[in-house]
Structure 1
Amino acid sequence: MTKHRIFTTSFASVYPLYVAKAERKGRTKAEVDEIILWLTGFSQAAFEGHLASKTDFETFFAEAPRLNPARAEIKGLICGIRVEEIEDPLMREIRYLDKLVDELAKGKAMAKILRG
């Protein structure tokens, strides 16, 4: 079975799209970064290192130091699919991130987005 194309896509190539989506709705790059760091456990420096080295999604999530256990509380539809029903673990992690960025763009409070 071949890997999904997104798995081998550079995280750095998609990151500006996350930021642009948030900024179009009046949110900030810092808030997008906060979501990513919350989800993955990366420090800001380690995260920026992954952006600079153009790490692919598969490696980015594989090297995440501490995936947040509260991410299991992320529920709902993304691209017409229930996030909690996605079987492939890597695709689920990617969709968790997509869902969090969507919630940010929809104006949800950071405390709710970060399941606080």
Structure 2
Amino acid sequence: MKTHDQRFAEMSFASVYPHYIAKVEKKGRTKEELHQVIEWLTGFNDQQLQAQIDDKVSFEIFFQNASLNPNAHLIKGLICGYRIEEIDNPLTQKVRYLDKLVDELAKGKKLEKILRNS
């Protein structure tokens, strides 16, 4: 049986991305705001992000290709019952960082707060 971490590693970013869009748009946020949040975390601009989607890369490859924001460690709190700062597997932690940012966007948090700029 695959572990939680293995499932994340093999899951394609493209399969989850439409759910991110639906989640934020349902709450009155925009795809552009979602892209801004993803770019902050990963360094991917719109073209680079689209290439990841078109190539149907796994989350493992997605985050290998990314330049993780140096302030990503400031993303804390609970997501799906897990405390983000206590997740041992680096890939799972990065996926949860992204989930948390999408959640905060959907919950109406201001972009300045989501982007944790020091």
**TM bucket normalised to smaller:** over 0.9
Instruction: Name the structure 1 match of 2:27.
Output: 25
Mapped to 2, the partners of 1:55 and 1:79 lie a distance apart of 23
5+ residue gaps, structure 2, are none
Deviations 1:31-89 (A, max 9, x none): 1111111101112211111111111100000111x210111100100001100000000
Mapped to 2, the partners of 1:69 and 1:94 lie a distance apart of 16
Matches within 5 A, 1:55-70: 55-64=57-66, 66-70=67-71
Name the SS of the counterpart of 2:71 in structure 1: helix
Identity score, percent: 57
Instruction: Name the structure 1 match of 2:95.
Output: 94
TM-score w.r.t. the length of structure 1 is: 0.94
TM-score w.r.t. the length of structure 2 is: 0.93
Amino acid aligned to 1:85: E
Instruction: Name the structure 1 match of 2:79.
Output: 78
1:4 Cα shift? Answer: 2.0
Q: How many pairs are equivalent?
A: 115
| Correspondence 1:4 to 2:9 | no
5+ residue gaps, structure 1, are none
**RMSD (CA atoms):** 1.3
Mapped to 2, the partners of 1:24 and 1:47 lie a distance apart of 22
Name the SS of the counterpart of 1:101 in structure 2: helix
